[in-house]
DNA sequence: TCCTTCTGGTTTGCAATACAAACCTGGATG
DNA sequence: CATCCAGGTTTGTATTGCAAACCAGAAGGA
């Protein structure tokens, strides 16, 4: 029905945005990670990482838990739904790429 | 030497942005296309399409030529460099996905 | 001829980002 | 006990992405 290009244009920016794609893909490989570890492997600044995490949390993709007591420490992990969303996003990109390659203009 | 996640975070937004990914991928399948045809297959609004095209033109990804004389008509195509950039972008996404899958945390 | 409508786009206005830099806050350390 | 620093959060600002208003020229009718 729609072209693959229409589907591309509707890609969800929450996960697609480069910094967040990095964060969520890292978490997919890691089960869970703390703030500084995530910062190191993504190369993001603290502020930037913090705001992206808030956005992902509001979107239900990750959970952020702060350990109280002792040295403060923040642990981040994907929610089950988030894990699905991220995996599906990558699959979708692959499918769209293939669909675009095979697509040819409809004759009028 | 960096992690795949650092590389993801540095993805070029000019081509990566969903609407522009749709436009440029469509052009990759089409050689060249006129404005209205692009609008139909991407589902974008006129204004939106127009501004994305300007941005792609400034970035050297596409050329936009307006036929003067007769019915006004705008034809868009990828520059040679743009064609390379778009194809490379998709390859890069695929490579990053694979690299992320195989990545494991370095032990300290 | 003049008006009006349609095709084919561009410009404008505004809300939402993305990033960086300034700012907090509670433990560790001399 | 003062000061340092790890570990984040908030603030400020320039850039976006989008939609709606706008514009220009060709086609068609009275």
For residue B69, the distance in angstroms to the closest alpha carbon of chain A comes to 25
Residue of A nearest to B33 (CA): A105
The structural domains of chain B, ordered by start, are 35-97 (1.10.10.10)
For residue range B45-92, list pLDDT tens digits in order: 999 999 999 999 999 999 998 876 556 688 999 999 999 999 999 999
Residue A18 · residue B93 · CB < 8 Å: no
Q: How far is CA A17 from CA A63, B8, B35, B64, B79, in A?
A: 19, 9, 27, 27, 25
> pLDDT 10s digit of each residue in chain A, 108 long?
689 999 999 999 999 999 999 999 999 998 888 898 899 999 999 999 999 999 999 999 999 988 765 566 789 999 999 999 999 999 999 999 999 999 887 654
Q: Is B77 on the interface with A (CB under 8 A)?
A: no
In the predicted model, is pLDDT for residue B93 greater than 60?
A: yes
- Chain B hits for A37, CB-CB cut-off 8 Å, are 105
Res B30: pLDDT? 86
Q: Which residues touch strand C (CB under 7 A)?
A: A 13, 17-19, 44-48, 51-52, 55, 69-72; B 9, 34-36, 46-47, 49-51, 53, 64, 66, 71-74
């Amino acid at each position: 029905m729609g072209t693959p290009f229409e589907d591309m244009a509707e890609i969800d920016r929450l996960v697609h945005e480069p910094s967040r794609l990095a964060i969520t893909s890292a978490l997919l490989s890691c089960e869970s990670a703390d703030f500084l570890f995530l910062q190191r492997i993504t190369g993001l600044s603290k502020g930037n990482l913090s705001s992206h995490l808030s956005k992902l949390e509001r979107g239900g993709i990750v959970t952020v838990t702060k350990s109280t007591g002792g040295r403060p420490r923040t642990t981040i992990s994907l929610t089950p739904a988030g894990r699905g969303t991220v995996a599906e996003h990558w699959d979708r990109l692959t499918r769209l790429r293939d669909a675009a390659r095979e697509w040819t203009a409809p004759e009028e």
